[in-house]
Structure 1
Amino acid sequence: MEVTMQVNMHEAKSQLSALAEKVWRGERVVIAKAGKPYLDLLPHRENRIQRKPGRFKGRIHMADDFDHTPEDIIEAFEGND
């Protein structure tokens, strides 16, 4: 279970080492500015998987009528029912 901790900017500056240890142990640390979430403190991961464009080519299929939206649906979204 991921624990979330929110600290203000001043506290984060004075306790950065301790907060970093918490993040490495799996806790989530959010740094707040003026009481509102501002930054997420995350651990650096050296070997992140690089995304490869086109890796799902040929594996995703769209219905032939994908681009056709029935008029009643359009009217419902536009509030013209």
Structure 2
Amino acid sequence: MTEKAILSEIHSLPENLRLEVMQYISFLKNKYVNGSDQPVQKKRVFGMAKGKYEMSDDFDEPLDEFKAYM
């Protein structure tokens, strides 16, 4: 599609749909940086979940339900 055809289609839309088109364009700009075809992945931070989870002291102990099989 040419630019002129795209603009013509956008102008034929109602105002609320034009707003959705603008939001989608912003989404695509944020997803793909510098014309790359691959989505941008955020860098993972080591230890980010530290302190959010707590394991009980008897985590490695056998479960009572399985004592008959041991």
- TM-score, length basis structure 2: 0.36
Greater CA radius of gyration, 1 or 2? Answer: 2
More helix by share: 2
- TM-score, length basis structure 1: 0.32
More strand by share: 1
Higher-RCO chain (CA-CA 8 Å, sequence separation at least 6) = 1
